[in-house]
């Protein structure tokens, strides 16, 4: 068993929440649903699409939910444009490589989104494993996505760290026994501490992130 670093995608390794927000607005408006930023920030970020559809489209037949959410994801991909990795991410990945620590992306995003984002960032071959929550029996906030990543990497939860920007994702990581770094890209620190996040940072340039990761993974010793 080994130390691992496990990264959420949107809002964690790349700031794309503004694109998702616009795609949700455009997709839900024809169904009479208005989404403002605070609603998006508090109730959508990090959630799996079936749960989002159930919450926002109860007046729409359930058998149409999947197609509507697929159209939202297509709208997101069309709007994506040029993106950059979160500040400090590449340095952290280089540090992990020097210490032979395997890395994974663990996300509730559809595979098409995840692959497009990673390719656009030039990171499509950098991660050892890509875990897509909706392809499993349970997505985040269930711990299964993170447990799956650990199993695929031969990782030990006690010496591994997850990076998350949402209460849903953090709940998943904490339940899997991981140390969790909360990225304060779109949600309040209180929302993350409430579900067990141990350390907060604006981005990966914060020295506290590497200090925590070094201690948790045992590289500090």
Strand order in the sheet with 129-132: 129-132, 103-107, 5-7, 161-164, 179-183, 199-201
Tally of domains within the chain: 2
Same domain, 71 and 97: no
Mean pLDDT of the chain: 95
* pLDDT tens by residue, 109-150: 999 999 999 999 999 999 999 999 999 999 999 999 999 999
Residue that terminates a domain, selected from 50, 79, 108: 79
Same domain, 118 and 178: yes
Same domain, 57 and 127: no
Strands (E), 20-166: 103-107, 129-132, 161-164
* pLDDT tens by residue, 139-177: 999 999 999 999 999 999 999 999 999 999 999 999 999
Same domain, 61 and 92: no
pLDDT on residue 221: 61
Catalytic positions, written as ranges: 8, 10
pLDDT on residue 220: 74
């Amino acid at each position: 068993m080994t130390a691992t670093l496990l990264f959420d995608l949107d809002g964690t390794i790349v700031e794309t929440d503004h694109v998702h927000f616009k795609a949700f607005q455009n997709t839900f408006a024809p169904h009479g649903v208005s989404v403002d930023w605070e609603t998006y920030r508090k109730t959508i970020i990090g959630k799996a699409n079936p749960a989002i559809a159930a919450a926002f489209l109860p007046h729409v037949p359930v058998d149409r939910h999947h197609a509507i959410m697929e159209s939202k994801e297509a709208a997101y991909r069309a709007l994506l444009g040029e993106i950059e990795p979160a500040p400090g991410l590449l340095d952290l990945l280089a540090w992990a490589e020097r210490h032979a620590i395997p890395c994974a992306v663990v996300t509730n995003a559809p595979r098409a989104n995840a692959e497009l984002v990673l390719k656009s960032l030039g990171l499509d071959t950098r991660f050892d494993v890509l875990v897509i929550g909706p392809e499993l029996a349970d997505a985040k906030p269930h711990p299964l996505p993170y447990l799956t990543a650990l199993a695929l990497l031969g990782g030990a939860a006690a010496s591994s760290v997850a990076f998350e920007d949402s209460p849903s994702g953090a709940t998943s990581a904490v339940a899997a026994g991981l140390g969790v770094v909360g990225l304060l890209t779109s949600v309040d620190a209180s929302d993350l501490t409430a579900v067990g996040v141990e350390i907060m940072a604006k981005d990966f340039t914060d020295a506290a992130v590497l200090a925590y990761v070094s201690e948790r993974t045992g590289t500090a010793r």
